Every structure is written in C-alpha cells, then in structure tokens.
C-alpha cells in the first residue's frame, strides 16, 4: 500500500513530511476524506460478503475509486493516520438508531491520542460530526449540517449526542475505550452466508459536500446544500448515472431487488 496514493485519493498534498501529528492536521484529513470518499454499502446489492483485509480495502477504495462501510473506511483511515505518526485505537460503538445497521453489527470508530487528549474520530457513519471530538470535553459542541454534536460520559460509557436546533439531544451511539483489532471484525458478516434471506441493510451512499451532502438511499436521491435542496426518485435506468456523476463511482447493479 502506498500512503501517497491514499493522500492523492482524498486530494491532499502527497508529501508526508508536511503533516504534523496535531489536531489541525487530523481535522484536515477528516474533512478531505469525507468529501472525497463516500459512505457506501453497494456490495450488498450483489449479496457480496465484504472482506476486511486491509489490502483488499485499499484496493477497493484507493485503486478502484470506491467508498465503503465503517469497517472499511475507518480501517483505511486508521492506517493513514498511523503511517503519518498518530497513535490510533479502533473501538466498537453501540448505535442507537438501527435503520442502517443491524443489531448484530457494532459500529467501528477510532480514538486518536494527541497531547494526552483522546479524540473520537469517525469517518464511516455518513451524516456525523466532521471533526475530532475530545471525549472528555462535554462542554464542546460541534455543528455540521445544522446538527449539533457533543460527547458526555454516563457511568463507564461515553455517549455521542446529536440534535437539530429545535429539538432535544438524542443518543447517536455509545462506546467504551476497549481497543479492537482487525480480528475482532474480519468475519463479522460470515454468518450471513448461511441465511436464506440475509438481514443486510438497504442501499445507502452518502458523501459530504463543503456545505451539506448528497445521498442515495434505496431509490431516493437527495441534494442538501446551501445552494440546492432537492429530492427525487431514481429509476433503474439512471441509478448508475447518479453514482457516476455525484459520487464518482462506476458500479453496475445486477440485483435491483436488493435496493
């Protein structure tokens, strides 16, 4: 794997010497990753059980210009950060809203250590905070896409909360600091091979824009930016065009019923 190719994939300077292990660099890397690599679970439309071998993740996202689910994107991001000199731990979180992920599948996120502080980093959760959050700073509020985010500690767990401006905070997910490795999730979907009707999520592709995002969920495509807010139904004929034109993904569906 070539670290310069990962940086090129997210449209950043490929000179590794220009990156310091500080919070500003971390947030820059997060922002660029989210704007150039979408969250997407398109492989499920082929009923393909995803491999979490880091070499295959690199091949898919970097060489084949794809996105991925949390296990793929956060794994690749952890590799990028570690190579640049950051101390990174992988963790599992418990997601409150199970619309896009089943109860059997914990969400993968990251803890990054900088100057004796621990930051939650997550570029694999679609609509989410786009900056690192100090897990021990419950006063800090992060705002993106008109959603407020903050972290509080309840008993022995940390909780990521979110709210729209006119509502109360609700739990996005909770987590502990228990470190995980690739072996903890490399076979996480293996049980699906034995099911007649796999309980895998519906198609979701989402990519951050400088102000807002674009999202394909099942057969609905939406644009939500400062300049344009629009939503429309996608036909079988133009679904691949949406992926190509808005997500820079070349993908052919061979099982429309999986959408």
HEC string for 47-99: CCCCCCCHHHHHHHHHHCCCCECHHHHHHHHHHHHHHCCCEEEEEEEEECCCC
Q: Tell me the pLDDT tens digit for each residue of 24-39.
A: 999 999 999 999 999 9
Q: Tell me the pLDDT tens digit for each residue of 127-151.
A: 899 999 999 999 999 999 889 999 9
Q: How confident is the model at residue 88 (pLDDT cuts 50, 70, 90)?
A: very high
Q: Tell me the pLDDT tens digit for each residue of 197-230.
A: 545 567 899 999 988 999 999 899 999 988 889 9
For the domain made up of 3-133+178-184, give the CATH fold. Answer: Arylamine N-acetyltransferase fold (3.30.2140)
C-alpha torsion 51→179→4→63, nearest 10:
10
Integer-rounded Cα Rg, in Å, for the chain is 18
Residue 194's pLDDT is what? 45
Say if residue 253's pLDDT is above 70: no
Say if residue 259's pLDDT is above 50: no
Alpha-carbon distances of 254 from 103, 195, 258, rounded to whole Å: 27, 20, 9
Domain positions in the chain = 3-133+178-184, 193-258
Q: Tell me the pLDDT tens digit for each residue of 180-194.
A: 999 988 888 776 544
Return the DSSP state at 165. T
Say how many C-beta atoms besides its own lie within 10 A of residue 66's C-beta.
Answer: 21
Give the SS3 label for residue 217: strand
Say if residue 103's pLDDT is above 60: no
| Cβ 49 vs Cβ 186: under 8 Å | no
Residue 247: φ, ψ to 5°: -120, -5
Say if residue 196's pLDDT is above 60: no
Residue 117's pLDDT is what? 97
């Amino acid at each position: 794997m070539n670290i310069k190719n990962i940086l090129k994939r997210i449209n950043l300077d490929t000179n590794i010497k220009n990156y310091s292990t500080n919070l500003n660099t971390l947030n820059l890397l997060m922002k660029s990753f989210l704007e150039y690599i979408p969250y997407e679970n398109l492989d499920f439309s082929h009923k393909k059980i995803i491999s979490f071998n880091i070499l295959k993740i690199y091949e898919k996202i970097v060489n084949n210009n794809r996105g991925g689910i949390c296990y793929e994107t956060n794994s690749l991001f952890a590799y990028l950060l570690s190579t640049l000199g950051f101390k990174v731990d992988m963790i599992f979180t418990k997601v409150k809203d199970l619309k896009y992920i089943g109860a059997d599948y914990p969400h993968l996120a990251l803890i990054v250590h900088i100057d004796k502080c621990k930051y939650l980093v997550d570029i694999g959760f679609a609509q989410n905070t786009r900056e690192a959050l100090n897990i021990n700073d419950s006063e800090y509020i992060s705002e993106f896409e008109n959603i407020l985010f903050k972290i509080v500690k309840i008993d022995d767990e940390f909780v990521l909360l979110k709210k729209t401006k006119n509502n109360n905070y609700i739990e996005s997910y909770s987590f502990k600091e228990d470190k995980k490795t690739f072996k903890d999730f490399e076979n996480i979907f293996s049980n699906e091979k034995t099911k007649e009707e796999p309980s895998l999520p519906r198609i979701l592709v989402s990519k951050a824009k400088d102000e807002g995002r674009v999202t394909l969920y099942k057969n609905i495509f939406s644009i939500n930016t400062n300049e344009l807010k629009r939503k429309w139904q996608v036909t079988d004929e133009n679904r691949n065009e949406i992926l190509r034109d808005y997500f820079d993904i070349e993908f052919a569906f061979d099982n429309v019923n999986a959408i």
